[in-house]
Structure 1
Amino acid sequence: MMRSRRGAPDRAHGDEKVGDDGRAIVEFIFLGVLLLLPLTYLVLTLARIQAATFSASLAGREAGRAFVTGADDEEARGRAADAARIAFADFGFDEGATLVVQCDGTPCLRPDGVVTSTAAIEVHLPLVPDVVAGSLPASVSISSTHVAAVDTYVAR
């Protein structure tokens, strides 16, 4: 048997038996896919939930701001609904989004009044089949509340 300078067998002459050569790529691909698929699903799910969080926060804040700048209660409610609808649509939540506007007294737009707007979204988790959705929770509820003050010296 030929030996190299360090005493190890010389592979160039074919003196050793071939073992697991070439199987590392198969194992790497298998484990990579096995780990990559759940990680990808986790990233997609967290991104969707984060988008809903941003959307609810923006919708609640903008609805409150739009409400307190209205001329009367009816116009203010329309402005708040439009502002929330735009905020929800910007993040792709046209369905399942709600807005509730509450006032601390009557009329809503009296000087130093407080308006509370709450935006809520029901986020359905991606790629969850209906069979699983019937027995396990397949959605996450996201809500955001914003408190806006009506100006003291506003002319209405």
Structure 2
Amino acid sequence: MILALRQVRARALHRGEAGSALVEFVFLGVLLLVPLIYLVMTLARLQAGAYAASTAAREGARVFVTATSSPSAEPRARAAAQLAFEDQGFLPADGEVSVGCDGDPCLRPEGRVEVRATVRVPLPFVPAFARDVVPLEVPVSASHVGVVDRFREAP
């Protein structure tokens, strides 16, 4: 009889908490899941920026050193870099390309050409009014050195 009375009291005490574990689980799940999803989205976008910058630098250098004439080399390198930026979903205004040579002319045999590509990766869902507190974009850059073929005819 005393055991049954204790069971009745225990049920009465726990009756007010019915379903609260589910509410707590959903609340904590959402509270932890939203920042995790934002972190994954941000890291994915930064990785796309890293791919875009490295591909743009590599392809820009490759296209530059295989050009047939010096005047057409730099525009070709910039066009190849823009294609690499656009391939990863960046606008042409988000990326910059600079080309440097180790001597004059650039396309001489065994000449080294360095192409540096920089892309500005915008952070997702950061409003413009938070510009002073949180950076709205992260610059990602890469460089690649291309070597003109040794047996190439000098221009």
Q: TM-score with structure 2 length normalisation?
A: 0.89
Q: Which residue of structure 1 lines up, in the alignment, with residue 66 of structure 2?
A: 69
Structure 1 gaps, min length 5: none
Q: Given the alignment, which residue of 1, 12, 16 partners 2:11? A: 16
Q: Given the alignment, which residue of 79, 83, 86 partners 2:83? A: 86
What is the percentage of aligned positions where both structures have the same residue? 45
Q: Which residue of structure 1 lines up, in the alignment, with residue 51 of structure 2?
A: 54
Q: Which residue of structure 1 lines up, in the alignment, with residue 127 of structure 2?
A: 129
Describe the SS at the equivalent of 1:140.
Answer: strand
More helix by share: 2
Quote the RMSD (CA, aligned, Å): 1.9
Q: Which residue of structure 2 lines up, in the alignment, with residue 45 of structure 1?
A: 42
Quote the Cα distance in structure 1 between the aligned partners of 2:107 and 2:35.
Answer: 50
Q: Deviations over 1:4-24 (max 9, x none)?
A: 9xxx83x7xx97201412111
Quote the Cα distance in structure 1 between the aligned partners of 2:87 and 2:2.
Answer: 72
How many residues in Structure 1 have an aligned counterpart in Structure 2?
A: 150
Q: Deviations over 1:97-155 (max 9, x none)?
A: 01101111111100110000000011111111111113432221100000011111013
Quote the Cα distance in structure 2 between the aligned partners of 1:30 and 1:136.
Answer: 27
Verify: 1:138 aligned to 2:136, yes or no.
Answer: yes
Distance 1:19 1:76, change over 3 A: same
Quote the Cα distance in structure 1 between the aligned partners of 2:75 and 2:2.
Answer: 90
Q: Given the alignment, which residue of 33, 36, 46 partners 1:36? A: 33
Q: Which residue of structure 2 lines up, in the alignment, with residue 114 of structure 1?
A: 112
TM-superposed CA distance for 1:3, in Å, is 5.2
Quote the Cα distance in structure 1 between the aligned partners of 2:45 and 2:60.
Answer: 22
Quote the Cα distance in structure 2 between the aligned partners of 1:126 and 1:69.
Answer: 38
Quote the Cα distance in structure 2 between the aligned partners of 1:58 and 1:2.
Answer: 78
Q: TM-score with structure 1 length normalisation?
A: 0.88
Quote the Cα distance in structure 2 between the aligned partners of 1:136 and 1:111.
Answer: 48
